[in-house]
Amino acid sequence: MDFAPAEEGAAVADTMDAFEDVEGANDVAACGAEVRAAASKESVEEVSAAVVSSVVGASPVDAGSPAALHDSDSDTEVVLVEGRVGVADVNIGTTSAAIIRAAATCALQRPEGSGVLSISGFMDDAALRATKAGVLRVTPAMADPIFTTQSVEEMKRALQSGEPFDNRRRQAVMNTRWASTALVRSSLARLCDLLFHVYGRRYVSSEPMVLLTLPRAKPQMSHGDAADKKKLGNPPRMIGVVMAVEHGSHLTTWPGSCFQFVEPGGDQCAGRTCLAERVLVSVGGSIIFRGDMVHRGVENASLNVILCLFHAYLTLCDAPMASEHWRDETCPVKEVP
């Protein structure tokens, strides 16, 4: 049956409205067709752009292009990124292996990718309950302070001189005898398997840690977990993991920003505070990010609630970083408006 011009226009408009109301699962399915078609003809960078633009949505910055460096108002600072890149999300249980692989490849690619990826669906309800029960057994007295508003060096000096220091962010290695520890390790092992599927190289996880953000804690200093070394490229030599077992868990990220190694006395790297993206860590899921992506822990405005997360590092088995003291190499980044 043929439509008259006016009827045809109305029908097209209704169709587009219906399409825009479809949930993200249909977007991911459509993305899969685009990626599979592009993968056979186009480069990794072009596939990266297709995945991020489909999964994340519109972004002022082309996700497939390198984040440009811009000078700030200071002569001794370099702004890492100008413009938003976005954080993609995939569900490990419902998203196809091809889409997960493409999303991880383009998100963790340096310098084109955002450097961060959200992966949901690792734990079912029973595993979540058991894991959360283990978290509640960790008290602040069992955890060691880590840097929040002071650098590691400032905290060490204050501790040696007996002066007070900011200790409202703490972490503790999970007890190996707890069932919750086995569940978290299992999720980390699945992440390592996923990355093997992506890169064809085996990652190994550090011991998982419980990260506690105490009441009235201020936002953490923005930083990278590893500097830009010669072998920190693709695939990432080190990947950070943050896992959540309770609602309302967040991580502040600067997608597309890679920490640049600076010699002592050199120009300090800086990131614009207005471009930070507060990412929700899905319950039973995780945020994975390159070790050189700029990020920070969030504040805790509560007066009596302790925020809990799991934290771990994944490193390449055939390129160990222990000899470089990378665990102590926190790389602060100055925030500018």
Q: Tell me the pLDDT tens digit for each residue of 84-94.
A: 456 889 999 89
Choose the weakest-confidence range: 70-79, 196-205, 226-235, 250-259: 70-79
pLDDT in tens, 193-208: 999 999 999 999 999 9
Q: Domain 66-336 belongs to what topology?
A: Jelly Rolls (2.60.120)
Helix, coil or strand: residue 20: helix
Domain borders along the chain are 66-336
Amino acid at 130: A
How does 259-298 read in b/e, with b if 16+ C-beta sit within 10 Å? bbbbeeeeeebbbbeebbbebbbbbbbbbbbbbbbbbbbb
- Put simply, whether the predicted model's pTM sits higher than 0.75 gets the answer no
Given a cut of 80, whether residue 36 has pLDDT beyond it is no
Report the pLDDT averaged over residues 211-225.
92
pLDDT tens string 115-165: 999 999 999 999 999 999 989 899 999 999 998 898 878 888 998 899 999
Q: Examine the pLDDT at 283 and tell me if it is beyond 80.
A: yes
Q: Identify the H or E element spanning 45.
A: helix 44-55
How would residue 330 be classed by pLDDT, with cut points 50, 70 and 90?
low
What backbone phi and psi angles, to 5 degrees, belong to 296?
-165, 155
Predicted local confidence at residue 274, as pLDDT: 77
